[in-house]
Amino acid sequence: MSRLGLVICSLLFSLNSLAAELTVTDQYVRATPPHVKNSAAFLTIENQSEESVKLVSVSSDIADRVELHTHISEAGLMKMRQVESILIKGHNSVQLQPGGYHVMFLGLKNDLVAGDSVDITLYFDNGDAIDITAPIQKITMSHKTADTKHQ
């Protein structure tokens, strides 16, 4: 193998090793009733590296806008707010879940039907991008958060 071939193989191995330090599991997107224009995705991100990393944006072609959100308590009510990033500390994980951090899809282009799936790309401040496929699931009572208003 040529020296250039060895260098390319080494670089590819290094890039795969870096991407393997961030793993995404338990992903799903909430199904919507007909004509509802917003939904959310939930997932777990595990950071197996020493360094902290931030999830800084998310993209998908299912909606006009895709944003990172969290819930805050304001005047006794839980409200959703957009956040700039979500920190995943080294050797730690973060759950994006109902009532906490989540990915918000605004201006859905189609109804989200249980059993289908959604392609999503997660972007991190270290330059990593992770493509995932998330199944669409029908919401259950255990997924609902009481007194939640999206403003």
pLDDT above 90 coverage of the chain, percent: 72
**Residue 50 has what pLDDT?**
94
pLDDT band at residue 27 under the 50/70/90 scheme: very high
Q: Is residue 103 part of a domain?
A: yes
User: How many domains, in total, are found in the chain?
Assistant: 1
d(CA 9, CA 3) in angstroms, rounded, equals: 10
Q: Which of 39, 42, 44 has its CA nearest to residue 65? A: 39
Residue 147 has pLDDT above 50, yes or no: no
d(CA 71, CA 25) in angstroms, rounded, equals: 21
- How far is it between the farthest Cα atoms of the chain? 67
**Residue 4 has what pLDDT?**
52
* Residue 133: Cβ-neighbour burial (10 angstroms; 0-12, 13-18, 19+): exposed
CB 8 within 8 A of CB 1: no
What CATH number is attached to the domain comprising 54?
Answer: 2.60.40.1890
**Residue 72 has what pLDDT?**
85
> What average pLDDT does range 14-22 have in this prediction?
57
**Residue 66 has what pLDDT?**
98
Q: Is the model's pTM score more than 0.75?
A: yes
Q: Is residue 38 part of a domain?
A: yes
Q: Where in the sequence is the domain holding 39, given as residue range(s)?
A: 22-141
